[in-house]
Structure formats: C-alpha cells, structure tokens
Structure 1
C-alpha cells in the first residue's frame, strides 16, 4: 500500500506545475495573466478576437457575483436561478448512473489478483483514448454509444455467469470464465473511454461560474453515495442471485441512453458561458449540437431582453415566477430567435 504514496506525490507535484485557470486569475484581479494563459491554451496571438470575447463573458459573470449575500442564502438562491434545479438534478443523476454502470462491481470484487490487474490496466490505457473521443465525437454520442455497448457486455456477462459457469468448480467451465473476463475487459474499455471521464467533463461545464463549486459538490456527493451503496450491498445481492445481479447494471446502462438524449446538451466546442445560455433558453438537447450561437452582441441582447443577463446591476437573475407577462413574452421571442440559429 505504501507504493501508492509514490503516485500521490507525483500527482500532487504535477498539479503544482499547472497554472491557475483564466477564470480564477481574472476573478482575483490578475487579468493580464489570465489573458496570456488563454492565448497559450488557444494558440492565439495577442489581442485575438476569441480571447477578447471570452474575457468579456467572464467579466459579465464576475459582475453578477458582486452582490452575493449570505452563503446559506446563496444555496437556496441557487435552486431558484433559471434552470439550476434542473441542472443540479441532471448532474447528480449522471454521477449516479456513472456508478450504476457497474464498473466498480468489477474493480471491488474481482476475486483473483490477475483480473483486477487486467481490468485496471485496460482502464488506465483506454482513458487516454477518451481525450480523443470526447472532442472528436462529442459528449452526447460518446455517452449513448458507450452506454449501449456496456449494456450488451453486462447482459452477456450475466447470462454466461448464471447459465454457463460452474460456480462450485469454475475449472470445469474454463471457457465460460475466459469469456466473462473478455466481456468484462470490453466493458471497462467502454467505461473508461466514455461514461467514466465524460460525466466529470459534463458536470464541470454544465453549471454557471457563480454556482459551479456548490453544484459540483452536490454532484460529487451523489457519485460517492452510490459508490458506497454499490460497495456495501453487492456482497449481499450476489449472495442471493449471483451473476443475475448483472441484469441490474445492464438495465441502468440502457436507461442512461434516453437520459442523455433528452436532457444533456452538447458542449463540444462551446464556451462555459454559451452552455449556460443554452440551458437558460431551453435549447432542445437533441438539437444542441446543430445550434449556432449568435454573435456576442446579439447573444447579450437576447439574454438581457429575456431577463437572464448577468450584467444587470442587481447581479442576479429574476426567477421566472417573478417576471412580468411582457418579460415572459420577450423570453419566448428570444428562445425563437435562438432556435433560428439551430
């Protein structure tokens, strides 16, 4: 176990070499440093238009936080902000389903030393492939295809384990055991290149800057809660129904597909501010990948007319229930305007 300290020190030391995020630097008054880091990340020359626009968006979000009140009050206010309750529940649900894929069923209860070594090796190696998958294919397609693949793998794993494997003397059905290891390996490859890391990507970008820390805390708490529940109850469940337990995970992977299709907005190539606006204006998730964001000036106008502009002096967004009928009608017109760009 002491060997694990080595990797912890490497990770900690490596993190110290990372620069702070542009948003963090900007919020703490280091605007020029934030600008230089953005230019480096984008590979853009000084004073590039894209960097300038994103800095303006960060400034708009920062002004919205000026009038924040009591921290406890802000927790309640967070749920009243436009689409925030929806996004918080979505983030917590995605983290729940990440655990209900069944990946930790293999990691925690692989009884032979060789099996965890194989599965963890695959998990480590294919995670690098996710860096390509998430930006080349997008979040939505990757999650849905990964869920479908994991559903099939777990379905076959459960069938072979329950109906073919000799559980009292596995050596008699060596081919079945080998098949189960192969299917578990294919499952882990899909998990570590799709749902495993991409869910963290989505929960990191779905929330506006003002509420990101609190919202991420809730979604992460959901992840660890379900992690604990699976670790705790798995021995009791498998003791009663053995490998039929795999049907539960297979079913959860199947349910994750419509969840992603109907509720997750595509964030590929979007800024955090654009994703925030798309949720506020209720852009249909299945059309989100085709949605073209309006020019910055028009986008600001739409948000201002819809009553969701964070640059207002009050620094907060008016809840839908407190808006006048004129504001509501204006918001509907703004939503139609956004749809025209899809």
Structure 2
C-alpha cells in the first residue's frame, strides 16, 4: 500500500486521535444543561432536575478515569505493536464506546460507555505525540505535535455546534444523535493511518533498519536517498539504539531511577499543571459559569460556544511560533496571564455576587452565585481572556514537551506515564468541580489561580528548554558531563538551538556533528553511564 511522507499530512491524520477528546468535552458540556438530558437522566425531585451534582461529576469524570488506565497501558501496546497500530486500536475502541453511550438506557450504561471512550482517548493522547515527535524533523516538531491540541479545539467547537443543533430535536435524539456522530472521526482515523509510515525510531528498535531508512527518506529526504539530513538522522538513531541496548532492561521503574527521575517529574507536571490551570473545567462546565453571569437558554449556549471559537483561533499562534519562542517562555507567560483572569473572576463573584438560593440560577444548582450588570460582562470577558491565554500556551505545549524529554527506548512508556498524570487529574477535577461550585462557590476560581502562580515558579526553576533540539541531544541537558551525577544544566540556563538544528537539516556541519557527538569514545562513555 502506498505510504505518504509529507509530515504535515501525517500530523493532520494522526491528530484526529486528539480531536476525539475534544468531541467528548463539548458533547458533554453542550448537553448537560439541555431539557432532554435533564429529564431522561433525572435524579431530582422535579421532572427535569437531572443527575445530582455528585452523579454528574462522576458521569463527566468517568471518561477521564478510563483514559488514565488506558494511558498507562498504552506504552506496552505501542512498544509491542507499533505507534500506528496503537492509534488504530484506540480508534476501534472509540467506536465501541460511542455505540454504548448512544444507546445508554440509564446512568450506569452511560458511565460504562464513557469509560470505554476513555480507553481510546488514553491510548491516542499518549501515543499520537510520541508518533509525531519520532517522525517529525526537530525544527517542525513543536508545531506538528502541538497540532494535537489544535485538533482538540476543533473537535470541541465542531461537536458543540452539532450538539447545539441537535438540542432543538424532540426526545432523546437530542443527545443520542451527537453521541453517535462521534464515531465518524474515529473511522477516518483508522483508515487514514493505513496510508502513513510507521515511526522510524520504533522500526529501529525492532531491527527493521531497511524500513527505518525508507521512512526517513520518505519523510525527511523527500524521496532523496542521498540527503545529508537522512544520513545524519539514520546514523544518530543507529548509534543511540546501540548505546541503549548496552544498558539495563527498561520498565516503568526505570523512569524513577536517579538517571531519569528529574525528567519523569518534569514530564508528569507538564501534564498535571495543564489540568490544574482549570481549562478543562472551563470547557466541561462553562454553561455553569455563564449561568452565574445571568445567561439563559439559547443565549447561554451561544455565548458558551464563543470560547470554543477563541480556543481554535488562539491555538494557531502557538503552532507558528512555539519552535521559535521556545517552551519555557510560552508556559510562563500563559500561566501568569491565566492567574490574572482567575483572580479577577473570583474577586468579581465575591464582591458583586448574590446567593440565588439552593436551586441555583435558572434551575442549575451548580450556578451558586449570580452577578448582573457590569460585573456580569466582566466575568464573561475574563472567561474569554482565560481561554485566549491557555490556547497558545499550556494547551499545545503540555503535549509537545513530555515526549521530547526521554530517550528512544523509554519514550513510549514515559509518555504513557506522563499522560496518565493528565487523566488522573482530569478525572479528579471533573468530579470535584460541580460540588465545589455548590460548596465553596467563587473560591473555586481562587484555588486554580493559586495553582497558576505555582506553575509559573516551577517552570522557571525546573523546566529546561527543548525547542529545536534533536531528540537524541536532549539527554545532555539532564546529565552531568562526567557521568558522576545526574544533575544536568540549570533550567534557566538552557536555550533553544533551533538555528543550529535547521543548519544540520540542510547538511551544514554534518560531518563535524557526527564526529563530535558519536565518536567511539562518546559511545563508550554513555554506555558506561547506562550500566
């Protein structure tokens, strides 16, 4: 079967796996406030009270719970069967989950279907960044891996408007139809992956060297076997595979050894902090937030959808500039801005909010504070600004960064572990937020604002710059040159080397690079460190 080597096409197809997560977010956020959903899954005293706050938190969080478990397992699937096959397995699982969700007769069946959907999202969210990072040239790696976040934002926006349109349908079709339509992108993903090459680094790890070189020629050499960049990349992969095989067997425990614990901690927190910004909470429960601002009915849904458009548009700058600006500045600017808008929203609700009573605003009990007038407009504006700050910063970079930190033999398992951190906190926050809005009201915003301040400090002191560096060179930032300690370079002293990498991609200085970095002495030195 013919394989396509354009890295942008490869990314465009594979990131559909990320788009599935976006479909799930908005299919839930757009539906939980509709009359059809509230009546069918009603647990309250009224005919349309809907699930209790704790139950709704469990329904929403069930997908993240399945994602957490599957993301941990995805490393084994990916290392055993390949990056492509792992993504295709995820697509099949998604279709199964959608069938169950679409046919849900009660809340337990709905939760089971969402857990199965979560299995797919866990596999794809962990292994799509690995696949793209292993196949993309260093100077384009950030924008291509970050495109997964862009796919998520497109999935959120498209599914929201589908769900909004279906909300005008009478009966249970109002929510069954959008839940069923979620299968379409997964089908496209499954068949589209058939026309893409396997990761060259995974092929090398299985001693399929001819195929590895063919993929590099196809993707990096544009079909030219004599390309100097292909020669350099193939040589580097080959020598690092030899080095890695002289070390000990790898497992999840290896990630917590003195050599890798710093990288593991950074990768985990890149994903954990992305959740503790509060962004996915804003996505799942934005209808609650805008209900507090006095919006109701169609106005509520349309106003909520504007943030999804902002999310799509504002992710584009990251794809264009993240490889130039670097990972560190992008993350620190984003978390500082988000803290500002969260503190502002908390202050507005605390100062101008009134208690609407136990029934909440417009029957939405989670909308436990109500503001009006100028304060209402300010809450909406700060919510939009929060999304505009997250979209070009923590959104894409939290997916770009972790796969860059680890060597080839650990990348699949490492990204599985770091992504599991994303999903376990997604699960916890999805469950926590509905009762939090009821019990601590505006203070919910303050909690997330404090997290944003903490992550700014954490990034400055401990997150090194990886932009533009070939994957095999990132190790040098973490390891002592003498191989005695594994302290590495201080994070604030690291910088992007995109210019040098672009020169290497065009063959400039190729011979010197190979001679200096992959001499027999250097190979022997790193092999001793692994042992």
Q: TM-score, normalised by structure 2?
A: 0.53
Shift of 1:270: 0.6
Equivalent position of 2:285 in the other structure: 109
Q: Who is 1:284 aligned against?
A: 490
Deviation at 1:274, TM superposition (A): 0.7
Question: How far does residue 227 in structure 1 lie from its aligned partner after superposition?
Answer: 0.5
Query: How far off its partner does 1:106 sit?
Result: 1.0
Partner of 2:333: helix, strand, or coil?
Answer: helix
Counterpart of 1:275? 474
Match of 1:247 among 442, 446, 470: 446
Count of residue pairs the alignment pairs up:
310
How far 1:63 moved relative to its partner? Answer: 1.9
Summarize the Cα distance change of 1:194–1:233 in structure 2 as closer, same or farther, 3 Å threshold.
same
Secondary structure at the aligned position of 1:207 is classed as: coil
Q: 1:297 to 1:262 in 2, by over 3 A?
A: farther
Q: Is the 8 A contact 1:61 1:210 kept in 2?
A: no
For 2:325 and 2:283, the matched residues in 1 are separated by 27
Matching residue of 2:159? none
Distance of 2:275 and 2:374 partners within structure 1: 29
Residue pair 2:353, 2:370 contacting (<8 A) in 1 also: no
- What's the offset of the Cα at 1:52? 1.9
Tell me which residue corresponds to 2:272.
96
The match for 1:263 is 462
Q: Are positions 1:295 and 2:513 aligned together? A: yes
Q: Does 1:317 align with 2:518?
A: no
1:8 to 186, 190, 208: 186
Equivalence for 2:395 = 196
**Gapped regions of structure 1 (runs ≥ 5):** 319-342
- Between the aligned partners of 1:70 and 1:135, the Cα distance in structure 2 is 33
Instruction: Assess if the C-alpha contact under 8 Å between 2:201 and 2:212 holds in 1.
Output: yes
Structure 1 counterpart of 2:205: 27
Q: CA RMSD in A?
A: 2.9
**1:98-247 equivalences in 2 (<5 Å):** 98-111=274-287, 112-168=300-356, 173-247=372-446
Q: Secondary structure at the match of 1:280?
A: coil
Aligned to 2:261: 85
Is the Cα–Cα contact under 8 Å of residues 465 and 496 in structure 2 kept in the other structure? no
Cα 1:77/1:12, change in 2 over 3 Å: same
The equivalent residue for 2:67 is none
Aligned to 1:324: none
- TM-fit CA distance, 1:127: 2.4
Following the alignment from structure 2 to structure 1, what is the Cα–Cα distance between the partners of residues 328 and 249?
37
Query: How big is each residue's C-alpha offset from its partner over 1:206-231, in whole Å with a ceiling of 9 and x where there is no partner?
Result: 11111112211211111111101111
Shift of 1:100: 0.2
Matched, 1:52 2:265: no
Which of these residues, 242, 246, 263, is aligned with residue 63 of structure 1?
Answer: 242
CA distance in 2 between partners of 1:300 and 1:243 (Å): 57
1:76 equivalenced with 2:76 (yes/no): no
Describe the SS at the equivalent of 1:227.
helix
Does the Cα contact within 8 Å between 2:221 and 2:230 map onto a contact in 1? no
Q: Does the Cα contact within 8 Å between 1:308 and 1:317 map onto a contact in 2?
A: no
Change (3 A) 1:201 1:302: farther
3-state SS of 2:226 partner? coil
Q: Is the alpha carbon distance of 1:11 and 1:156 closer, same or farther for their aligned partners in structure 2, counting shifts above 3 Å?
A: farther
How far off is 1:32 after superposition?
A: 4.6
Q: Is the 8 A contact 1:123 1:189 kept in 2?
A: yes
Contact 1:146 1:195 in 2 (8 A): yes
User: Residues 94 and 243 from structure 1, CA distance in 2 versus in 1: closer, same or farther, beyond 3 angstroms?
Assistant: same
Any idea what SS the aligned residue of 2:197 has?
coil
More displaced stretch, 204-213 vs 238-247: 238-247
For the pair 1:17 / 2:195, whether they are aligned, the reply is yes
Give per-residue Cα distances to partners, 1:249-276, cap 9 Å, x unaligned.
1111111112112212211111001112
